[in-house]
Amino acid sequence: MKAAAPNVSAAAVVAELRSMGSEAGRAGMARFGINANRAFGVSMAMMRPLERRYRRNHALALDLWATGIHEARILATTIEDPKAVTIAQMDAWVAEFDSWDVCDQAAMRVFARTPWVAAKVADWAEDDREFVRRAAFALIAGYTVAAKKAPAEEFLAFLPIIERHATDGRNFVKKAVNWALRQIGKRSPALHGPALALAEKLAASPDRAARWIGKDAVKELTDPRQVARIAARG
C-alpha cells in the first residue's frame, strides 16, 4: 500500500483517534500498566487500518509524536520509516517514553531496524531513567527478531550488559532484561547455551531481581518444546 501523502494532517489523524476512543478503553489500558493520562482509549487492533493507511510516512510520524497523545505516539511508531530515522530522533523519542507499550513498539518497530542498535543498547542501558533503560533491553529483544542475518557474536556481546543490569529491581526494567535474555537464548543453538548459562547463574544470585530473571529464563530455555524449536533453527 502507498504511503500517505505528505500533506496529511496530524491534527486530522488525532481527531480520528479521539473519535475511536472510550473511557472503557482507557480503563483497560490502565489495568495493563499503560500510562493513560494522555490517552483516548484506542486499542492497537483498532489502529491497524490507520497503520496501513499511513505506513512509511516519516513526516507524519514526527508530527504525531509531537502531539504527545498516547495513541498518536503508538501510531507514529507503527508508520515510521526506519530508514529515515536518525540517532538524534531516537534519543529524543526515548527521552520522552512514559509507558512500556510506547517504549516497546518504538524499540521493536523502528529502532531495531536502524544501524545503531549496538551503540544505543550500550548508551541506554547505562541511563538510570526507567523507560530509557527498558528501551535498551526491548531493543535487544526486537533486534533478535528483526536482524535475521546478524551473526551470533552481536548477541553474545549483549549478555554482559544483561548480567550487569539484572539487579535493577524496577518492574519495567527487570521484565525487559528477562525478555532480552530469553529472546537471545531462543534465537539459535549457538546462542542457546551461553544464554542458558547466564540464566542459571542469575537464578542462583542472592539478588531478588536477578534471581527472578534467571529462574524465569531457565524455565523457558529448558522447556522441551522450546529446546526442540531452537534445535530446528540450527
Taking only the tens place, the pLDDT of each residue in 18-51 is 999 999 999 999 999 999 999 999 999 999 999 9
List the one residue out of 83, 60, 51, 45 whose CA is nearest residue 5: 60
Q: Which of 34, 68, 84 is the last residue of a domain?
A: 84
Taking only the tens place, the pLDDT of each residue in 70-103 is 999 999 999 999 999 999 999 999 999 999 999 9
Q: 80 with 90, same domain?
A: no
Which residue's C-alpha cell is 528477562? 178
What is the residue range of 172's domain? 86-234
Q: 33 with 97, same domain?
A: no
**What's the pLDDT score for residue 8?**
84
H or E element in which residue 226 lies? helix 224-232
Q: 19 with 121, same domain?
A: no
User: Could you give the angle at which helices 224-232 and 189-203 cross, rounded to 10 degrees?
Assistant: 150
Taking only the tens place, the pLDDT of each residue in 138-174 is 999 999 999 999 999 999 999 999 999 999 999 999 9
How many domains in the chain? 2
Q: Which of 59, 84, 109 is the last residue of a domain?
A: 84
Looking at the chain, the whole-number percentage of residues with pLDDT higher than 90 is 95
Average pLDDT in the 113-124 region? 98
Q: 166 with 73, same domain?
A: no
Q: 36 with 131, same domain?
A: no
Residue 201 is which amino acid?
A: K
Q: 26 with 118, same domain?
A: no
Q: 234 with 144, same domain?
A: yes
Q: 102 with 199, same domain?
A: yes
Q: 51 with 92, same domain?
A: no
DSSP 8-state secondary structure symbol assigned to residue 111? G
- Mean pLDDT (the chain) is 95
CA distance 202 to 58: 41
Q: 155 with 58, same domain?
A: no
Q: 144 with 199, same domain?
A: yes
